[in-house]
Amino acid sequence: MSEKILSVRDAIIERRSIKKFNGQSVDRGDLMAIIDDAVWAPNHGNREPWRLVVACGEELSTLHNLLRELAIPKWQELSSEDLAKQMTKFTLPGGYAFVIVPEDARQKERLEDYAAASIFIQNIQLLAWDKGIGSCWKTPGFLDNPKFREALKVQPGERVIAMLQVGYFDEAPKGKERKKSADIVTIFGE
Ligand SMILES: Cc1cc2nc3c(=O)[nH]c(=O)nc-3n(C[C@H](O)[C@H](O)[C@H](O)COP(=O)(O)O)c2cc1C
């Protein structure tokens, strides 16, 4: 667990997407506590347009089997060594949170809900970072696969917008340069 007390600024600029986890498990209580705080994301009309399917601990192995089926279609043809290697991107995270949003028939509300859920997700990422837990928001194609939706009991009118992998890591990657305000801001009227 991280000892350093992070300011909001520290958390925002120091957080990195973690793509190489070290296999250490994430405590379900820690993840639930993070989610309990992350729900304070702004959201229009207090619709709180999100729900999650979480896996950490025992249920991970069933999830790994599902991910293997969906992401590595020819897995049966691989040697156990190659398969294990290809599966590390799924087996090393210590937990998963799939974020599900309602798909409002009205475009404005749908966009608002996606925006609010995105803020909620970043809240999770920042709060996790504060606990020394890395994360990566991933959007693999199988999120819309009917088999996957069925396994997660995603209802018609809902969409999975994120596979959030969470876990511990040995090394954080360096951040890629970002544009400066001067590059992206136009002063009104100029
Ligand atoms: C909506 C969204 C989808 C993303 N999907 C993926 C993904 O499918 N695979 C992946 O490796 N990273 C994904 N990322 C993470 C980005 O690669 C990462 O945020 C970017 O490289 C910037 O790095 P940083 O988060 O460390 O600042 C996604 C991020 C966002 C916001």
Q: How far is the CA of 164 from the centre of ligand 1 (A)?
A: 10
CA of 1 to the centre of ligand 1 (A): 23
Residues with C-beta less than 6 Å from any ligand 1 atom: 16-17, 19, 136-140, 175
Residue 77 inside a domain? The answer is: no
Is residue 150 assigned to a domain? yes
CA of 18 to the centre of ligand 1 (A): 9
User: What's at 123, amino acid-wise?
Assistant: N
The answer to whether position 184 is within a domain reads no
CATH number at residue 111: 3.40.109.10
Confirm whether 33 is domain-assigned. Answer: yes
Cβ atoms 154, 100 nearer than 8 A = yes
Residue 60, CA atoms < 13 Å, CB-side half-sphere = 22
Q: What is the pLDDT of residue 148?
A: 98
| In a domain? residue 176 | no
The pTM (predicted TM-score) of the whole model is 0.97
Q: How many CB atoms lie within 10 A of CB 22?
A: 14
60-71 vs 80-91: helix crossing angle, rounded to 10: 110
CA distance 143 to 98: 9
Range of the domain at 144: 15-56+92-171
83, part of any domain: no
Q: Which is more confident, 73 or 95? A: 95
Helices (H), 142-184: 146-151, 181-184
Q: What DSSP assignment string belongs to 98-143?
A: EEEEE--SSHHHHHHHHHHHHHHHHHHHHHHHHTT-EEEEE--GGG
Edge-first strand listing for the sheet containing 51-55:
51-55, 95-102, 158-167, 134-138
Residue nearest to atom 20 of ligand 1 (CA): 17
Domain count within the chain:
1
Nearest atom in ligand 1 to the alpha carbon of residue 19 is 11
Q: Is the pLDDT of residue 2 over 60?
A: no
Q: Does 100 fall in a domain?
A: yes
What percentage of the chain carries pLDDT values higher than 90? 97
Q: Is the dihedral of CA 109, 115, 118, 119 positive or negative?
A: negative
Per residue in 111-120, pLDDT tens?
A: 999 999 999 9
pLDDT tens profile 30-41: 999 999 999 999
* Model pLDDT, residue 5: 87
Residue located nearest, by CA, to atom 16 of ligand 1: 17
pLDDT average, residue stretch 155-170: 98
- Of 2-6, 44-48, 174-178, the range with the lowest mean pLDDT is 2-6
- Which residue has the least CA distance to atom 19 on ligand 1? 17
Name the phi and psi angles at 178, rounded to 5. -110, 160
Residue 74 within a domain: no
Instruction: Give, for ligand 1, the residue of 114, 139, 165, 169 to mutate: max count of ligand atoms closer than 8 Å to Cβ.
Output: 139
